Structure 1
């Protein structure tokens, strides 16, 4: 229970700084269980998080990052 090291569920795949001297940036995270990608925008004490979607409104996936369940 305690002391067990769990693998991270979300991994950051993109990190872009907004402007030189700015504290803001754009981050893209992928869920390693579902492959769904999220964009997180931060700046000037504000921020937002939303799912990334394709033209049809379906979530963008990173299937290469989906971890297979370990077998017993």
Structure 2
């Protein structure tokens, strides 16, 4: 079975949704916001303005 590249590690809301996704290849965390028909995606940054990077398992996608 093919693994998913992006994993949802946090989700909040049903109509106005906020999610944190982790790229299973790079470990980079992304913030996704969906509000009705609008939405956006951006890298999640730490206090110093650097991308938040999580440890990842080897990807076999």
Q: TM-score, normalised by structure 1?
A: 0.73
Show structure 1 runs of 5+ residues with no match: none
Between the two proteins, the alignment pairs up a number of residues equal to: 60
Q: Paired residue for 2:52?
A: 60
Q: TM-score, normalised by structure 2?
A: 0.84
Identify the structure with the greater helix proportion. 1
Runs of 4+ off more than 3 Å: none
Whose Rg is larger? 1
Identify the structure with the greater strand proportion. 2
Is the contact made by 2:46 and 2:52 (CA closer than 8 Å) also made in structure 1?
A: yes
Report how far residue 48 of structure 1 moved: 0.7
Judged with a 3 Å threshold, the aligned counterparts in structure 2 of structure 1 residues 25 and 69 are, in CA distance, closer, same or farther, namely closer
Q: Paired residue for 2:9?
A: 13
2:16 corresponds to 1:24: yes
2-structure distance, mates of 1:12, 1:24: 16
1-structure distance, mates of 2:7, 2:58: 15
